[in-house]
Structure 1
């Protein structure tokens, strides 16, 4: 491992992370590919619940269809979180030299699941609260101005146009700032699942830990995430079958990068040691 600690904090060597992630995936490719297959199969079984709200492009008016849709949506979220925890757990074991089985990946851990769910909900709130505030404080008046423009024109067309243009510019600028904030958060929370699982951190602590861990190497983590996204895209293009390889591989790479950053910052190895045979 070539990561080092400098005066600006730890730096990520994504080349090492890619190699270590690939080695980890190679230790148990069958279980790593099999678990996402199981999850996708379960999601396919509940898909009819979510298809009830639309018939030929027309939204259903039956409340029961919407209840079933919400149940299906919730089930999909739970399955995705279950898969994320299992893959990260398996990646940590494989990086430490283990050969995780499908049963180990599928093992349910309600405590970790609850912490991860709360962390993701908190992260969603961090994004949604300013977005809703922007829509209410700027988007609302802009929409009302556009709706009642014809009634206001007799007073002063120039005033209406200037006010509308000013609101539109402010809205665009603030939306752009918010988008940059979302991108920043998306990168510095790249290891949220790893932090929750291996450091047993609560939701607020996990978000703060993600920021302190990633910020010194933010650009390198951004590059790593772009490479991971490219791997996922290539997997999807390979008749979708490759996605079941790319998905766990990306998780192994991300977990290797997370471990590298933790060790480079001077903290103890966060991954549990693999028991000796």
Structure 2
């Protein structure tokens, strides 16, 4: 199957326009709820806020899927809680985050080694662990060392090349995993199988998918420029566009039944 960026953009916008206020109110509700629970003390706030974000993502995926079937998703469709879908989405995103984290950390370590700045990096790391945010003198000293580390890296051609290579690999993986959320929720594949399916399907049309992602980033940027409130519409539009592209590249089946069951 081939991907048409124009069709994805048109279908995504049409789907959003079918029930715009449902999507906008849900995005606003999810944002407010995430902000409120984030005020919880300690790690509890982070955990609950992350769960809210996962729940909201599943809700938007469900709404986009129903909309593409020319149905009119209701607020109840979007707020419905599906624990299994949330878990699948979390576990697959966690695996992708670990993979990208390993690549980024490896590239950073190799770059520091190539720049012969290992001692400086270790000094910065040690200071960060114990630094007092109210001590301006120590903070200024830390900033100076960070600037020194950055200078050492950018003046080393090998270090710069390593960082660029790491960035290229990370971007390549992220584009291949653009549909990870839909594959996790819709297909219900295992974590490794989800990533493998993304690589298998997307890599043959990598540049087309990359171009679609660029267009989506432009839409999100326009939403951000609109005093940030535009994101309440831009985010659902992007999810609807992704849903259309997913259905073009994969299929319109819902084997788990979590999106079409109402």
Summarize deviations over 1:94-131 as a string: whole Å, max 9, x none. 10111111111111111111111111111011111233
Q: Which residue of 2 aligns with 1:7?
A: none
Task: Indicate the residue corresponding to 2:61 in structure 1.
Answer: 88
What is the aligned partner in structure 1 of residue 31 from structure 2? Answer: 40
**Structure 1 gap segments, 5+ residues each:** 1-9, 50-67, 149-163, 264-268
Q: Provide closer, same or farther for how the CA distance between residues 75 and 168 of structure 1 changes in structure 2, counting only shifts above 3 A.
A: farther
Q: Name the counterpart of 1:201.
A: 189
CA RMSD of aligned residues (A): 2.6
CA shift digits 1:112-153 (9 cap, x unpaired) = 1111111111101111123333444552683335589xxxxx
- For the Cα contact (< 8 Å) 1:97–1:274, is it kept in 2? no
Cα distance between partner residues in 1 of 2:199 and 2:221: 27
Aligned CA distance change for structure 1 residues 88 and 173 (closer, same or farther; 3 Å): same
Residues 1:200 and 1:47: Cα distance change in structure 2 (over 3 Å): closer
Q: Which residue of 2 aligns with 1:116?
A: 89
User: Are the equivalent residues in 2 in contact too, given 1:11–1:216 (CA < 8 A)?
Assistant: no
Distance 1:95 1:130, change over 3 A: same
State the 1:228 CA deviation. Answer: 0.9
Of the candidates 130, 139, 143, which is equivalent to residue 117 of structure 2? 143
> 2 CA distance for matches of 1:233 and 1:124?
23
Aligned to 2:253: 270
Match of 1:214 in 2: 202
Partner SS for 1:11:
coil
SS, match of residue 117 in structure 2: helix
Matched residue, 2:8: 17
Residues 149-228 of structure 1: matches in 2 within 5 Å?
A: 168-228=156-216
Q: How many Å separate the matches in 2 of 1:238 and 1:146? A: 42
1-structure distance, mates of 2:107, 2:260: 49
Distance 1:77 1:25 in 2: 25
The structure number with the bigger radius of gyration is 1
**Mapping for residues 51-70 of structure 1, pairs under 5 Å:** 68-70=41-43
TM superposition shift of 1:248 = 0.3
Q: Using the alignment, how far apart are the partners of 1:250 and 1:87 within structure 2?
A: 10
State how far apart, in whole Å, the 1-side matches of 2:90 and 2:242 are: 19
Q: How many residues align?
A: 228
* Aligned mates of 1:35, 1:176 — CA distance in 2: 39
Instruction: Quickly say closer, same or farther: Cα 1:99–1:20, change in 2 above 3 A.
Output: same
Structure 2 CA distance for partners of 1:259 and 1:123, relative to 1, 3 Å: same
Query: For the Cα contact (< 8 Å) 1:116–1:203, is it kept in 2?
Result: no
Residues 91 and 191, structure 2, Cα contact 8 Å, conserved in 1: yes
Q: What is the aligned partner in structure 2 of residue 29 from structure 1?
A: 20
Contact residue 98 and residue 274 of structure 1 kept, 8 A: no
Q: Which runs of 5+ in 2 are unaligned?
A: 123-151
